Amino acid sequence: MERRKFLKNSSLGTVGIVSASALASCKTENKPEAPMTISTPIRPITVCTWNFHNATAKAWEVLNSGGTSLDAVEQGVMVEEADVTNETVGKGGRPDRDGNVTLDACIMDKDGNCGSVVYLQNIVHPVSVARKVMEETPHIILAGKAAEKFAYEQGFQKEDLLTESTRMQYGEWLKTSKYETTINIENHDTIGMLAIDKNGDIAGACTTSGMAYKVAGRVGDSPIIGAGLYVDNEVGGATATGVGEEVIRTVGSFLIVELMRQGMSPQEACEEGVKRIMKKNEGRKDFQIGFLAINKQGETGGYCVHPGFTYREYTENGHDNKEVSSFYE
């Protein structure tokens, strides 16, 4: 793990544009890089883990028509929850080792309100149930069968989340797996999304079916406030992707936001978070772990132990819906 490669580039017509992160940090003599105040903050803006351009496009549509960051992140991640070709989120997500699709999701707003569902079955949009938990109950997390019952009470419909494809893959897995759960670095399509609206307010959401063929009952980081997602409207927001156990152990997203509070840029904070985890996992290459962050000024950063990690960023700042690569090797 001595070799570290940082690659940050963009596609889709962004050549020649200086990133907000670059503009926003300056090196002063004998001092580490310090964040500079940006006079014209970039907003609105939305970012999400991985290359989910339809999700950022949807979130952007909400922001661009004056919607709140909370509505934007909810509607943005719902695109992936409904997409059956995304086999780690919502409908079409891969099941646990007993063949049940169990979903985790959370959402957090500018005021620190948050809602979460864990081990939720038969509901396509766990993020919206999480929002209902936030808005309709005095609680933060609802789990399992009771969360499902709550969802029906709130008007959600029951739906089989297995598809022909995931059912068939599960059947194949059963033949060779010896019923053993392994950490699969290819299982990387969880969506975490952050947004800033026209008022400069930040919100975030995260949703997943978790690790494929996990032990039944397993809950990952994605629905855990502070681990898979954290927002502090004074500072910024962060979300995580990858092996949830590592993110929970380090309270990852909270860590990234606190590092930004102490003066790191989103990029620096994400790199520091990943490095801390890798230090404890020296030599391991069998898992991926990544963070995505945004600060109050609209600067973004992302970093992941996964060759080919990208995140999506959508702003009106001349580089609409761009893809950014940034990874640790």
Residues forming the active site: 190
Sign of the dihedral defined by the CA atoms of residues 79, 244, 182, 49, in that order: positive
* Beta carbon nearer to ligand SD4, 35 or 244: 244
Q: Does 244 bind ligand SD4 (CB under 6 A)?
A: yes
Pairing of strands 114-120, 141-143: parallel
CB of 83 to ligand SD4, least distance (A): 15
Cα separation, 89 vs 248, whole angstroms: 19
Q: What angle do CA 276, 246, 182 make, to 5 degrees?
A: 130
Q: Does 226 bind ligand SD4 (CB under 6 A)?
A: no
Instruction: Say if CB 199 and CB 192 are below 8 A apart.
Output: no
Determine the size of the site formed for ligand SD4 (CB under 6 A): 15
Instruction: Say if CB 204 and CB 192 are below 8 A apart.
Output: yes
Q: Taking contact as CB under 6 A, which single stretch among the options 19-27, 120-128, 214-222, 269-277 is the one that binds ligand SD4?
A: 214-222
Query: Of residues 87-126, which lie at the interface with ligand SD4 (CB under 6 A)?
Result: 88
CB of 294 to ligand SD4, least distance (A): 18
Name which position in 95, 226, 236, 242 contacts ligand SD4 (CB under 6 A). 242
* Beta carbon nearer to ligand SD4, 42 or 129: 129
Q: What angle do CA 45, 87, 308 make, to 5 degrees?
A: 60
The beta strand positions in 89-169, using DSSP E, are 103-108, 114-120, 141-143
* Beta carbon nearer to ligand SD4, 128 or 222: 222
Q: Taking contact as CB under 6 A, which single stretch among the options 15-23, 176-184, 205-213, 294-302 is the one that binds ligand SD4?
A: 205-213
Q: Does 315 bind ligand SD4 (CB under 6 A)?
A: no
Q: Taking contact as CB under 6 A, which single stretch among the options 11-19, 71-79, 151-159, 218-226 is the one that binds ligand SD4?
A: 218-226
Task: Name which of 48, 103, 85, 242 is nearest 169 in CA terms.
Answer: 85
